[in-house]
Amino acid sequence: MNRENRLRKLRHEMKAKGLEAVFVQSPENRYYLSGFRGSSGALLITETDALLYTDFRYLDQAAEEAPLFEVVNHQQNLMTMICTRLQDETLRHVGIELDKLPTAQYLAFNRLAPTLELSNVEPILDRIRMYKDAEEIAYLRQGIAMCDQAFAHILSYIKPGITEKEIGLELEFFMRKLGAEGIKANHVIASGERSSLPHGQATDRVIRVGDFVKMDIGARVMGYYSDFTRTVVVGQPSAKQLEIYQIVKEAQEAALAAIGPGKVCSEVDEVARSIIRAAGYGDCFGHSLGHSIGLAVHEKPTMRHNDQTVLEPGMVITVEPGIYIKGFGGVRIEDLVVITADGYDNLTTATKELQVIPV
């Protein structure tokens, strides 16, 4: 397992920042560091100790899933036990997940241990999580393979008369049958003029001849999300549909060609954006080119104008330009790639040629 490595990296950063302990309770960071997948628990990590506090329901599971951690039954007294331990060991400077910590726990720290100095540990954890190891990449690859297969399947399912919700359900059912443990929460199934909504959720809208159908889907495998978007057209495309599809495809392929180790996120974003801008649709591409992904759908770095992160091997990013025209429709094409030592590995294999659903 790679979790010894993750703990080593965290302790290294703790030392550099003068953090004497780190308190982790978000499900994804808890799982990332310990392996524990129960719904309730918290980690306390110091230079020498790794403790997993959970309750009676999860004691056996925690011991099995988190062998690097000493499992403690908190008996519904989590914050009292944590604060007592910190004070007994005179640990003052504690890292917490400032964005994710429930307010009640933050207030409990202040009430039970007012002398603690609390700092945000999330930037440290975000940075460690940026670099995916072989096991994580294998889960992402499995998830994208499910998306690829679901897309191939849905091409013969889409037809005029069915609804966006039916398409969404069929995609989910298909991926679950392939072994996905879940799907990403914001599946986008948006058709016709609704396809101009970048994150339009499936509705009862009925598919008609001439519609774009934009599908942004993701399977979850061992906690890891994948992200995949393709846009198809029902019946023969109009000249304008062909035009904007070609521009998005060109922008997406140019961005991929510009990706690799040493490349800067903002510069790759600009490669795609400048193509869309030059074609006259700059105002119709209002989101970033992409993002990293893993235990959360959106992780760091982000492929946008103000993110100067330099891409390095092991980082994974989505490449997903789009053009969205209100009242007309929209197109997005999204691949998921892993940065390698000499370029990138595109996990997504589905065709990017515009798929025309026969009617």
User: Phi, psi at residue 239, to the nearest 5°?
Assistant: -60, -40
Nearer to Zn ion among residue 266 and residue 318 (C-beta): 318
Give yes or no for residue 318 binding Zn ion (CB under 5 A): yes
Q: Is the peptide bond before 313 cis (omega within 30 degrees of 0)?
A: no
The phi-psi region of residue 99 (left if phi > 0; otherwise alpha if psi is between -120 and 50; otherwise beta) is alpha
Give yes or no for residue 252 binding Zn ion (CB under 5 A): no
Beta strands 329-332 and 343-346 are unpaired
Binding mask 263-302 for Zn ion (x = CB under 5 A): ----------------------------------------
Beta carbons of 194 and 167 less than 8 angstroms apart: no
The minimum distance between CB 326 and Zn ion, in angstroms, equals: 21
From 8-16, 19-27, 154-162, 227-235, span contacting Zn ion (CB under 5 A): 227-235
Give yes or no for residue 241 binding Zn ion (CB under 5 A): no
Q: Which of 28, 227, 270, 299 binds Zn ion (CB under 5 A)?
A: 227
Amino acid letter at 312? E
Instruction: Please give the Cα distance from 235 to 356 (Å, whole number).
Output: 6
The minimum distance between CB 228 and Zn ion, in angstroms, equals: 8
From 4-12, 178-186, 225-233, 277-285, span contacting Zn ion (CB under 5 A): 225-233
Residue with tokens 């035009």: 243
Can you name the residues that pair with 191 across neighbouring β-strands?
A: 213
The minimum distance between CB 275 and Zn ion, in angstroms, equals: 19
The minimum distance between CB 297 and Zn ion, in angstroms, equals: 7
Count of residues near Zn ion by CB under 5 A:
2
Cβ contacts of 281 within 8 Å, gap of 6 or more: 244, 247, 323, 325
Length of the chain: 359
Q: What is the DSSP letter of 295?
A: S
From 13-21, 124-132, 222-230, 231-239, span contacting Zn ion (CB under 5 A): 222-230
Nearer to Zn ion among residue 81 and residue 303 (C-beta): 303
Nearer to Zn ion among residue 309 and residue 318 (C-beta): 318
For Zn ion, the nearest residue by Cβ is 227
CA atoms within 13 A on the CB side of 165: 3
User: Phi, psi at residue 15, to the nearest 5°?
Assistant: -60, -45
From 39-47, 86-94, 219-227, 246-254, span contacting Zn ion (CB under 5 A): 219-227
Q: Which residues bind Zn ion (CB under 5 A)?
A: 227, 318
